[in-house]
Amino acid sequence: MDFGYTPEQQALRREVRAFIAEHVTEDVLAERGSSESNTGRGEGGAMKRLYEKVYERGWLGITYPKEYGGQGGDRMTQYIVEEEFTRVDIPVGMGGSGAPAIMAAGTEEQKQYYIPGLIKREISFALGFTEPHAGADLASLQCRAVRDGDEYVINGQKMYTSSAHMATHIYLMARTNPNLPKHRGISIFLFPMDTPGITVRPLWTMQNDPTAPIGTTYGHQRTNETFFEDVRIPAASLLGKENGGWRVGAMGLNLDRVGASRYLISVRRDEDIVNFVKLNSFDGYAPAKDPAIRDKIAELWIEAQVCRLMTMRSMSIVEHGGNFTYEGSAEKTWAPEHGVRTTEAIAQMLGPYGQLLNGSPHAVESGIFAHNLQGAFQSGINHGSTQVMRDQICRRGLDMPRK
């Protein structure tokens, strides 16, 4: 066991901080506001230039092999860089389960095409998994892909395709054989979002009116439903084997459940509330002196440490060349539920100020705590609900029976 960072890792953290202080300038911060900028294609170009500099430093695609544009680095390096950038709300991770799935199951051609593009943030995926009638029970999905010569023809509907309106490509799970048991008739496809036959319709979230401030947990104003009508794609769009998509998809999802950004979305309000109450009082009432609030803040702080340590555990296992079994699911249960507990406790600490949204007179910290009440619980729903995660914990971690 070693709970420390090496001198090299500490130096890296200092280097990243210095870089951020120098290069995350006012124009970058201004552009950061629109989520479209986060793909590196912001209209002002400041974000794009920043990403070019981050790439030059070797801080994008750190854990990916050099032949695909990565750095061949380790996960702790990735973690440190990602943690620092996430604190200024600039994503530098690979953003989803697409890249790990391609590395695991892709053809050489697919790796050469997608991985460098994903690293440089020139390619981004919308995640096409969930359907109107397939959420937690994802394997019951109905979206169809039918082989027709050198092509597949896609028909169906996907829900909560969050970045579909700005992604360059989609990472889609569809049924290729309805006659096989449900998990065995599924395949994964990668293709451009501008392929004819795709329609993206916005679904506006609670965070849209008013707009959630930067850094809000699930502060996205918009998700989408995406329709596929006789969408013809080349057969080479298939990722992995036909009807072998379930394992590939699940593996990618599992990896996407751990890491710095997942950890930080669940714990940043812990830091925020401590730092807020230290500096603020209401006409002489100082929450930081209130014994009930002090006790609750300490309780939440301890839970946040567990989030951090569970993240470290998952990464340690992967660094040793192992695969976590239940540990990733534990992290994906503990952290979101902790984030919710913190968010709800903060509302009770702030009382009526806790309801004020972005832009309101008297709003606390641009209303982020109130907006978080609209977002925090989503992290326990997305990418595998905490209920599904608990099923996995007792199957894989405790070997409990199905029947």
Instruction: State the residues that interact with another protein by CB under 8 A.
Output: 1-5, 9, 76, 83, 267, 270-271, 274-275, 277-278, 288, 294-295, 297-299, 301-306, 308-310, 312-313, 315-317, 319-320, 326-327, 330, 333-334, 387, 389-391, 393-394, 397-403
b/e 40-59 (16+ beta carbons within 10 angstroms → b): bbbeeebbbbbbeebbeeeb
Which residues neighbour 35 within 8 Å (Cβ) at sequence distance 6 or greater?
Answer: 163, 166, 220, 221
Nearer to another protein by C-beta: 166 or 293?
A: 293
Which residues neighbour 8 within 8 Å (Cβ) at sequence distance 6 or greater?
Answer: none
Nearer to another protein by C-beta: 131 or 270?
A: 270
Rounded to a whole number of angstroms, the minimum distance from the CB of residue 185 to another protein is 26
Rounded to a whole number of angstroms, the minimum distance from the CB of residue 225 to another protein is 30
Nearer to another protein by C-beta: 149 or 279?
A: 279
Query: CA-to-CA distance for 251 and 186, rounded, in angstroms?
Result: 14
Nearer to another protein by C-beta: 159 or 274?
A: 274
Rounded to a whole number of angstroms, the minimum distance from the CB of residue 128 to another protein is 29
Nearest Cα to Cα of residue 191 among 119, 134, 241, 126: 126
Which residues neighbour 276 within 8 Å (Cβ) at sequence distance 6 or greater?
Answer: 364, 365
Query: CA-to-CA distance for 375 and 219, rounded, in angstroms?
Result: 6
8 A C-beta contact, residue 13 and residue 81: no
Nearer to another protein by C-beta: 251 or 317?
A: 317
Nearer to another protein by C-beta: 4 or 352?
A: 4
Nearest Cα to Cα of residue 266 among 182, 383, 149: 383
Dump the DSSP string for 265-291.
HHHHHHHHHHHHHHH--BTTB-GGG-H
Rounded to a whole number of angstroms, the minimum distance from the CB of residue 9 to another protein is 8
Rounded to a whole number of angstroms, the minimum distance from the CB of residue 319 to another protein is 7
Distance of CA 391 to the CA centre of its chain: 21
Nearer to another protein by C-beta: 229 or 319?
A: 319
Rounded to a whole number of angstroms, the minimum distance from the CB of residue 305 to another protein is 6
**Amino acid at site 117:** G
Using the structure block, give the residue that is written with the tokens 């209401």. Answer: 282
Nearer to another protein by C-beta: 137 or 271?
A: 271
Nearer to another protein by C-beta: 128 or 336?
A: 336
- In angstroms, the Cα distances linking 52 to 41, 61, 136 are 11, 13, 38
Query: CA-to-CA distance for 227 and 310, rounded, in angstroms?
Result: 38
- In angstroms, the Cα distances linking 142 to 100, 131, 132 are 25, 8, 9
Rounded to a whole number of angstroms, the minimum distance from the CB of residue 6 to another protein is 9
**Structural tokens at position 377:** 């619980």
Rounded to a whole number of angstroms, the minimum distance from the CB of residue 394 to another protein is 4
Query: CA-to-CA distance for 241 and 127, rounded, in angstroms?
Result: 19
Rounded to a whole number of angstroms, the minimum distance from the CB of residue 216 to another protein is 18
Nearer to another protein by C-beta: 166 or 273?
A: 273
**Structural tokens at position 182:** 């449900």
Rounded to a whole number of angstroms, the minimum distance from the CB of residue 241 to another protein is 32
